[in-house]
Chain A
Amino acid sequence: MPDLRIGERGESVIDFMTEHLGGFFDLLKDFLNFGLRSVYELLTALTPVAMVVVLVVLAVLATRRILLSISLGLGLLLIQAMDLWSETMQTMASVVVATVVALVIGIPLGIWSAFDPVVRSILRPVLDLMQTLPVFVYLLPTILFFGVGDAPGLVATIVFSVPPAVRLTQLGINQVDSETVEAAVAFGASRREVLREVQLPLAMPSIMTGVNQVIMLALSMVVVAGLVGGAGLGGVVVNAVQGLQIAASIEGGLAVVVIAIYLDRVTSALGGQGRANPAWWPRRREAAPAAPVTAEPVSVG
């Protein structure tokens, strides 16, 4: 077999990018850092306890389960008790920014690939690559591009968490009952109207599952982000492990678990409710069956 020297070629591509795209990377870095700082300031605008109250209220609105929301609140108070509040909020900020960017990239790509089989077949191996290539392989180049700090971890996080947004958006749109789509077409709706008024609303449960997945993947990257100098719980855990401080690593890990559960419950509840149900208070919980995703209407006599 001939030696294709793929690795070396790849390296020279990265060298080229480092040399010639520096301006672009600096701009991206500034943008991401600005986003991180803004969200962090927003999250720490209130005292920790007041913020916990706000987060619990949000949880009640989203899940309509009071007991669950109180448990989540206790977990958040535990973080404050461990004195990890500001690190946790840094992590939250990077999760929020990574998620927003991943969705802004992923959802339009998902819509595009839902309508274009060619795009779909091109995207598929790319998404596989993004999800399965070991993180450290592209962490190194990102340090070259962005230097040590929050940005490289954030970019790696975004790369890692875009795929579910694309996949679940595309799946959700393609799963919408074709007869329902036809009904809109038969009444003269344009493709844009069909997308906006029928396909996207009916794909919403699937898209929200994608959002939930994106958030979970982003959170799972925070420890890795700590390795390359990212602030937040990742840094706490990495420092604790490197210093063999078991107590500190337990606390950092626990804080990650708490916000993971919080974000998962809240965002998965948003997906399950969909937009079909206008009631947004706990009372009607049992009266609202999940919106049919593969909506083949059952004929009831």
Chain B
Amino acid sequence: MTERRWDPTRQEWVITATHRQERTFKPPEDYCPFCPTEADAEYPTAIPESDYDMAVVENGFPSLQPDPPEPAVDGSKLLPTEPANGQCEVVLFTPEHDGTMSREPVSRFIKLVKLWRDRYDTLGEKDDHEYVYIFENRGEDVGVTLHHPHGQIYAYPFVPPKVRTELHSSQEHLEEHGRCLFCDLLDEEREDSRRIIAENDAFTAVVPYFARWAYEVHIYANDHLPSLAAFDSDHERALGSLLKDVLLAYDGLFGEELPYVMGMHQQPTNGMGEDYAHFHVEFYPPNRTEDKLKHLAGSELGAGTYINNKLAEESAAELRESLDAARE
């Protein structure tokens, strides 16, 4: 069953999805649900084709559903409960089960941006989809249970709290200074330049001044683009190119695929925030060294204050060096 419960202390929804306890857990390669279905296969995968280039499949264990069941418990005025309406999709980056995205040509990243743009538009058309959240969990260290290269999309029936906070801050900044907060942040990062990893005509990759994770990277649109819907083909090409650069830098850092959580922040599809939502992608790798992970603990989970064990300026220098080495 699924439902959402309101936490009035944080003014946030919590989603309950008990059926996800049963989801596919690290299947052997022969039983990967995201590989193409071979002609002589005993069992079909989720993809009813013998080959594909890139695909989207409706999540088999969704946290949000177009026709959700009624909540398991009755809520109250103080503690409301609602059905967990929305949509969950899985994005298959490649048909290759053992594919490594940093070794893929730039064209695959550009295709991915085009696909994401289509899903943002398509899922955003539904009235109850207020925010189309595009994300990726990569590596067992961030809880991945299926190794086939893939990302996910959640179409939430609300603007999720992290994005809502960013939008609120940017709206206040706009009202006070007449400028988008993210445009001003990017101007400062570019003027300082110490934390920039790579850039091109349309996007900049940077370890942000306020990084919470040792190797956190954000990719910001150079111009004020609220969302993927504002992209043209030059933006698609430029973002694809920079995404590959970030993965090259990450995978060269310790000589293996760096695990991370990636999240895309942009304008909600409920129409709010065109002047102050600014398209960007955030990467949070859990590694603080080659063999040590940062765990969210007392200060982070209990108080909401992150302790970063590394200077953003030093991380950026390491990532630039890694990218330079990968390009040679």
B partners with A: no
